[in-house]
Structure 1
Amino acid sequence: MAIDTNPYWDDHEEIIENIAEHPGTILKMYLSERHMPAAKVADYLGVARPGFANMLNAKRAITAPLAVKIEDAIGYPSELLMALMANHELAVAKASATHIERMPELA
């Protein structure tokens, strides 16, 4: 049976929101603070500028191969980028999923 809310999620929504930011928006701030133009970084990484811009604007997921390239090029930890992406995707899924009741224990 589907239910509309998950009590755990409701109680912790604000906390999840704060840790579930898309890594692209964080990386965008990181680049901006260091005066690194996104187009120049995309070119250096060998990725398409529009796709890189979409990732920075939280419209596209960051992939593991891209995270490794970013770490190699500018030193931002790939593990952190991937953990942020996983947290973001999980928060989005929980917020938009139809939740179900816990399965009764088997007797």
Structure 2
Amino acid sequence: MNNTFNIKRFGNVVRRDGMSYFQNYGWTLIVLWALPVILWFLTYISMETFDTGIIINRDTKISILMWLSLMIVPSRLYKNYNDSRKGVILAMTPASSLEKFL
């Protein structure tokens, strides 16, 4: 196998990873994408009746959601890579090291 970057092989790696990730972790991604909408809706319907006295601006809410996402998603997506039985598929993928890294 040629160890240089090949855009077609890279596309195949991205397609395979995307399909396997969405099959296995689609609900996790849907929940993480829907969470800001649900929080906005709850804030909107309780705007006049709910007052905690704490002012949290949009940047803080986005930072909290990003932090939670950055903690949860990688552990869910890459949990099998070091498993000797399930992680062999990634190591045997016909792609260069750069393509697998990207």
> Do both share a fold (TM > 0.5)?
no
Larger relative contact order (Cα-Cα within 8 Å, sequence gap ≥ 6): 2
TM-score normalised by structure 1 residue count: 0.34
Structure 1 or 2, whichever has the larger Rg, is 2
TM-score normalised by structure 2 residue count: 0.35
